[in-house]
Amino acid sequence: MFIPQSYTLAIILCIITMICWGSWGNTQKLTGKSWRFELFYWDYALGILLFSILLGFTLGSTGESGRSFIQDIKQAEPHNILKAMIGGAIFNASNILLVAAMAIAGMAVAFPVGVGIALVLGVIINYVYVPHGNANLLFGGVALVVVAIIIDAIAYKKHSLSLKKVSGKGISLSISAGILMALFYRFVASSMVSNFEAPEAGKLTPYSAIFFFAVGVFLSNLLLNYLIMKRPFEGKPLTFKDYSKGSFDIHLNGILGGVIWNIGMSMSIIASGKAGFAISYGLGQGATLIAALWGVFIWKEFKGASKQVNNLIFMMFLAYLAGLALLVYAGA
């Protein structure tokens, strides 16, 4: 299987994660207001599963190091498979909440608040279990991310008040999504081998861990998304007849969203061997910065904002960049 051989390459993979995790939300935005997020999410979960299979039979089955994809699945112990699947189920619950928040409050708010909280808690949790890197730099970076989250929340509140439109539900969903999202990565990490090149028996290598994670996402979605369709956060209940009305392009858009997100997840897990789980996860969750850029400059979610709000947004970007830079140096 393919394994990064240097910290520099691992950081490059983490940057790819950041871009993918911060950009997949555009596929949901592109489906338009007529296609509810609950319907989009069926195709999104399918995209995650399909890419995990493709990755396993390509990068996961090449090279001399470690175990091949199929060989690794055959030798995996059930409790490790279960851990990866539980990670998928937890992620799925958090991501459904995040997509709902994004539909209500926009990318420029849902990502900085939800994913920002996930970054902070996730880095702490993963570092406690597997310490890797300079703790002072690592948590200094986390502190700057917290500052960025606070600034973004203030900017959103000020802009919403000027429009006489404050979405408390959007903020609440973002916070709930962030707390859950901080937990899923540790379950996947705990199912994996500690040495990718000489993997211990019974545990999962990155490619099989990603596959079982995706299976957990897909299976849990059959229940979770069905319940959300019947009891939606906003709007009327939906049925599978509504889903069948979607065009080929709309369904393809959802699958593409899942593929893009899982490219990011896969690069993060693969990079963790050299970067460590805390840094790999933390840098990937810099996706918040990418999503905020999309929300502000492409989707114009702060259009017509006052000079004070624009200054706050600029400060938020600076704080995020500084925090991410410290995360990189923490591992170096």
Q: Are 177 and 95 in contact (CB under 8 A)?
A: yes
Query: What does each of the 332 residues of the chain score in pLDDT, given as a tens digit?
Result: 999 999 999 999 999 999 999 898 899 888 877 799 899 999 999 999 999 999 999 999 998 888 999 999 999 999 999 999 999 999 999 988 988 887 787 766 777 788 778 888 988 998 998 898 899 999 999 899 888 878 877 887 787 766 555 567 888 888 999 999 999 999 999 999 999 999 999 999 999 999 999 999 999 999 999 999 999 988 899 999 999 999 999 999 999 999 999 999 999 999 999 999 888 988 887 777 787 788 888 888 778 888 998 899 899 889 988 988 898 889 86
- CA-based nearest residue to 13, from 281, 204, 197: 281
Instruction: Give residue 80's pLDDT.
Output: 97
Instruction: Give residue 301's pLDDT.
Output: 73
Which residues are bridge partners to 192 per DSSP?
204
Residue 167: CB atoms within 10 A of its CB come to 17
Q: Quick one: tokens of 230?
A: 């019947």
pTM of this structure: 0.87
Burial 15-45 (b: 16+ CB within 10 A, else e): bbbbbbbbbbbbbbbebeeebbbbbbbbbbb
Q: 222 burial class (0-12, 13-18, 19+ CB within 10 angstroms)? A: exposed
Strand, helix or coil for residue 204: strand
- CA-based nearest residue to 204, from 221, 216, 220: 216
Instruction: Give residue 100's pLDDT.
Output: 83
Instruction: Give residue 161's pLDDT.
Output: 67
Q: Could you say which DSSP state residue 4 is in?
A: -
Q: If you compute the radius of gyration of the chain from its CA atoms, what whole number of angstroms results?
A: 19
Q: Could you say which DSSP state residue 114 is in?
A: I
Q: Amino acid letter at 294?
A: W
Q: Amino acid letter at 101?
A: A
Query: Tokens 């969750």 appear where?
Result: 285
Give residue limits of the domains in the chain: 20-133+169-286
Phi, psi of 208, rounded to the nearest 5 degrees: -75, -35
Distances in Å between the alpha carbon of 16 and those of 13, 20, 34, 222?
A: 5, 6, 31, 29
